[in-house]
Structure 1
């Protein structure tokens, strides 16, 4: 904060953003929620806000509540599958938040994913798949859109699936080095990937959801 203003509010922050304290002030879809104030707590890269609102309980009683929300933007993820060879193509990369919270080495096997930034979900996942796995995606199937951690994180994640073959791997993958990414492509037999959920080798929520979708109603469903 300066005498001339506050970065992210009336001065651009390091990403050129202003008005970050306005998000949510105009919400009117739920008559039992009245937004009173939005405070900007942090804008280092994503945005942390504290919102004060009045809430009408089911018994008619009103109370004043405060919630902190972490806004990192929306994202997209994809399961690449080869039906004929019965394989899926995933990633392996280091995830510090998992490492600091008990994962043995922080190396998670995951479906390719990324933030939308300024793209629509389909364009974003095509971009991320090319960057992380070196795969040029053809037809996309939209599986579902899900709020992954609605108690505190605003992100909605768009889930996709698409077939792939060895010929579709047209680039090196690995992620963007200038963003610190170091991503390994991991091809797994689909049945082994399902076993990896049970034994803990795959412990990432979005990946588990896509693998179970593939088994229940997707490309590897029985019958």
Structure 2
């Protein structure tokens, strides 16, 4: 990579000024940014930041951290309340394959990067592309950082209902982006069991399924004994 690419010369995605991220941070007086280096900008951005950090004992140390910036993302758990089913995706994920997953075929909630959209618009787009579902009302659940030690991405998590009538497209993802996505429709109880067996091992999906189970329990009417 040209050592000025992404700084004052556009990189492959037309970006400049990528070495400026974090330089103006002032929210924590115990952290003073000293330098930001670009290590890679082939698609997303890998940076090495040098900063001074004041510990709880008052002493200052100079530290370095590498951060991978791929932008923020969104995901949605789709639940059919009439049949108590959830609609998930199944696709090949090389990073999990190379790190011990048996075949790299990963079961997940529909998800994607924001790519300039607001989180709600982004997840509507992804649900349509991946699952062929047109989402009605969206329920924001929480926004989380999945790997705060190295990845900057924050994932905006939503819930929504679906039915056979709302499945208006084929899904499958975008072939031009190399996506080959299978739709997986299973009962909510079965999905929760697959967490226990390890068949579902994706963090955001586990969080959303367990949230759904807790939310349904919380909303369930009490019986006459108060249970």
- For normalisation by structure 2, the TM-score amounts to 0.95
Residue aligning to 1:217: 215
2:108 matched to 1:101? Answer: no
Give 3-state SS (helix, strand or coil) of 1:213's partner. Answer: helix
Residue aligning to 2:183: 185
Runs ≥4 residues deviating over 3 A: 218-223
Give 3-state SS (helix, strand or coil) of 1:217's partner. Answer: helix
CA distance in 1, matches of 2:206, 2:108: 9
Residue aligning to 2:224: none
Residue aligning to 1:62: 60
CA distance in 1, matches of 2:186, 2:217: 15
Count of aligned pairs? 221
Residue aligning to 1:161: 159
User: C-alpha displacement at 1:82, in angstroms?
Assistant: 0.5
Q: What are the ranges of 5 or more consecutive residues in structure 2 without an aligned counterpart? A: 222-227
Residue aligning to 1:36: 34
Q: Is the 8 A contact 1:214 1:220 kept in 2?
A: no
Q: What are the ranges of 5 or more consecutive residues in structure 1 without an aligned counterpart? A: none
CA distance in 2, matches of 1:169, 1:130: 9
Q: 1:203 aligns with which of 201, 204, 215?
A: 201
Which digits, 9 at most, give the CA deviation of each residue in 1:47-75, with x for residues without a partner? 00000000000000100000000000000
Q: Is the 8 A contact 1:216 1:222 kept in 2?
A: no
Residue aligning to 1:124: 122
User: C-alpha displacement at 1:217, in angstroms?
Assistant: 1.5
Seen in structure 2, the aligned counterparts of structure 1 residues 74 and 96 have a Cα distance that, compared at 3 Å, is: same
Which digits, 9 at most, give the CA deviation of each residue in 1:111-132, with x for residues without a partner? 0000001100000000000000
User: C-alpha displacement at 1:6, in angstroms?
Assistant: 1.1
User: C-alpha displacement at 1:7, in angstroms?
Assistant: 1.1
Give 3-state SS (helix, strand or coil) of 2:50's partner. Answer: strand
CA distance in 1, matches of 2:202, 2:173: 19
Seen in structure 2, the aligned counterparts of structure 1 residues 30 and 152 have a Cα distance that, compared at 3 Å, is: same
Give 3-state SS (helix, strand or coil) of 1:194's partner. Answer: helix
Seen in structure 2, the aligned counterparts of structure 1 residues 169 and 206 have a Cα distance that, compared at 3 Å, is: same
Residue aligning to 2:70: 72
CA distance in 2, matches of 1:164, 1:40: 43
- For normalisation by structure 1, the TM-score amounts to 0.97
Seen in structure 2, the aligned counterparts of structure 1 residues 219 and 84 have a Cα distance that, compared at 3 Å, is: farther
2:50 matched to 1:52? Answer: yes
CA distance in 2, matches of 1:143, 1:207: 13
User: C-alpha displacement at 1:220, in angstroms?
Assistant: 8.4
CA RMSD of aligned residues (A): 1.3
